[in-house]
Structure 1
């Protein structure tokens, strides 16, 4: 019995790895000798480094970097088994949890520490980067990161700008003289599902800045700054970053990676699936288990379980999805794209708070998996 487990995290409850372990326990309770292959999911947010290291091997590296408010903090990233690929979650250096609620102000916060993590990885021999965009406390268009990497931004008075989103309106020109030479040898794969433009009603400031502490006046100021940065970039690099999908991700860090570092944007799960040869694993599997906290309309918009189902259909493999809750009307069409069946793991009426307790979720995942595989075993014996 070959089983591939590719399940997303249950947001706010259990991680992809924790859910996978619970499911594995349910499988082995029925098939003790089952060959189980766990592929933890990573979408570019929290858990991206952990997922890649678990999937392909590697080690965690910690170093002191500049935090979002300019203070020193410890940032951790991963170096994969090949020794040249670094996986960096930008939140490790400029994440929202690093800023106390009362101090959240995207006019002041900086992405400088992200650049320091990149430099540290380059010094450790890395030239290929997987960047997880998600959870930033910043809205500085990645200028802080670029400053750390040697890009210098000047005002009309030829003064070097400071740090933070408030400085974007002051940028008049860019000096590339002192850019870190090693960057020319680096590639950046940017893991992110966000496709927002840099500025405007759907841009980084208007959509994401309020959750980072910005009021209406701040949002307007930040948006003007982002627009100015785009205009300067067009003049200096002949690149129209406003129209690059994902430029507005992580407070505009997407624009910096895609426009200044020649990054390529892709969903984190797509990058991971290719690296771990998921298609080959599914091709050889007897059963695939996928799922997430809630299966609904968003699942149909390209989330991981959908991708898993399509791969399984390609090779006519059965795939079961487990979820905390399921919107039947929005999920039923998944059968058409390859989902054999899907099940809620809830075993009795309960409040959302109770259902989201980690130990309850893990118990239910194990229990339901065991019951499903008991049925599968009986069916196999009957054939």
Structure 2
């Protein structure tokens, strides 16, 4: 293991202040549950230490819970929406924040776990649009849309359709929902699209993928949603059609009138709203921007049609939930996720926590379900639950137990937590 990031000197006998800030272990435990288990294990071994839990999300599942736990005065609203496979989703939630903004989480309405079975060509984001519409109905001043864990690759067209947009084939008929139908897209009509909120829409994105190409939404994330090679090709073709016909029209996201928005006849003539990624650029340029491929291209759809801005989900959520202030007083931080690999440092929770900890001079300890790839030099110590449990099946069967054990093991390691033991 590489040398730790220089941090506070550990004075023998002095309690440590430990911040525990994990992501969810997807399909296993939430970020809140993971933080509690790690804290339990650490405190059982070192009961005098001060342990602060700050569960973090990256814009995927658990984002609402992270905000609700950390931001006083939030109000939870629930409604029934259309799921990604057309079945109803009961009690999908969004949060009204004290500053007059709304937080909408894609995973609540259009997440992959809501599917009865993967359906990469037909899954859609219509339900997410219903959530956004419900928030707009209350008069919120801005909307945060947490993008992550999506079931679809529809470029956000389902969401936009729920808000009044129309996506038409060569005969002028509305396309079926889902990314597969976009290969037949001939025109986009945004005349009926309702305006965004006065202070705009911000997308919390957890990836840096562009919309198109070998690193894009269909190629990289399509297989996770059940797409094979032929389906990936069709989804890529559909997203390319969307980028050509809806290249960036979204002044509405900046609170302006709809008069500058193009309709079906001249839909390709608009420009990207002043606040969006790729501001002032044409569709192919916007489609190449990092993050526009998030959530199957939903980030692109919101940026192009409503002028949404794209911001790193993990860092934005960490700032809202008070992680920077906690790190300023911390001796070390523990973070983690279900699987640590080469993508973990690219906009996800672990990468965000590591970057912020480095800036604060705080050592980082990592716990993951499994570790696939080299651990960066900024991480002082790492544990994989599969190593503790013996195999993946046992780790998944009792995640809380193994997370508690991981917390204890990190606390009891000789010289733990790999901070200098020179007296101060």
CA distance in 2, matches of 1:4, 1:127: 33
CA distance in 2, matches of 1:170, 1:375: 59
State the partner residue of 2:303. 258
Verify: 1:283 aligned to 2:296, yes or no. Answer: no
Pairwise CA distance, 1:366: 4.2
State the partner residue of 2:250. none
Pairwise CA distance, 1:138: 2.0
Pairwise CA distance, 1:118: 0.3
State the partner residue of 2:218. 205
State the partner residue of 2:93. 77
Q: 1:230 to 1:75 in 2, by over 3 A?
A: farther
Contact 1:60 1:76 in 2 (8 A): no
Q: 1:228 to 1:314 in 2, by over 3 A?
A: closer
Pairwise CA distance, 1:82: 0.9
Pairwise CA distance, 1:306: 4.5
Q: Which residue of 354, 357, 361 corresponds with 2:394? A: 354
CA distance in 1, matches of 2:111, 2:386: 33
CA distance in 2, matches of 1:26, 1:52: 25
* 1:199-278 map, 5 Å: 199-234=212-247, 235-238=268-271, 239-240=282-283, 241-278=286-323
Give TM-score scaled by structure 2 length. Answer: 0.75
* 1:168-207 map, 5 Å: 168-181=182-195, 183-207=196-220
* 1:92-103 map, 5 Å: 92-101=108-117
Verify: 1:363 aligned to 2:408, yes or no. Answer: no
CA distance in 2, matches of 1:372, 1:319: 15
Q: 1:78 to 1:38 in 2, by over 3 A?
A: farther
CA distance in 1, matches of 2:235, 2:42: 51
Q: 1:11 to 1:140 in 2, by over 3 A?
A: closer
Where does structure 1 lack aligned partners over 5 or more consecutive residues? none
CA distance in 1, matches of 2:54, 2:146: 17
Contact 1:194 1:246 in 2 (8 A): yes
Contact 1:3 1:286 in 2 (8 A): yes
Contact 1:187 1:262 in 2 (8 A): yes
User: What SS does the aligned partner of 1:7 have?
Assistant: coil
Q: 1:19 to 1:212 in 2, by over 3 A?
A: closer
- In the alignment of these two chains, the number of paired residues is 373
Pairwise CA distance, 1:284: 1.9
**RCO greater where, 1 or 2, for CA within 8 Å and sep 6 or more?**
2
CA distance in 2, matches of 1:215, 1:309: 34
Pairwise CA distance, 1:128: 2.5
Where does structure 2 lack aligned partners over 5 or more consecutive residues? 1-14, 248-267, 272-281
Contact 1:173 1:236 in 2 (8 A): no
Q: 1:233 to 1:285 in 2, by over 3 A?
A: same
Q: 1:151 to 1:372 in 2, by over 3 A?
A: same
Contact 1:345 1:368 in 2 (8 A): no
State the partner residue of 2:178. 164
Pairwise CA distance, 1:321: 3.4
Contact 2:312 2:347 in 1 (8 A): no
CA distance in 2, matches of 1:168, 1:292: 34
Judging by fraction of residues, say which structure has more helix: 1
CA distance in 2, matches of 1:352, 1:285: 32
- Give the aligned CA root-mean-square deviation in angstroms: 3.3
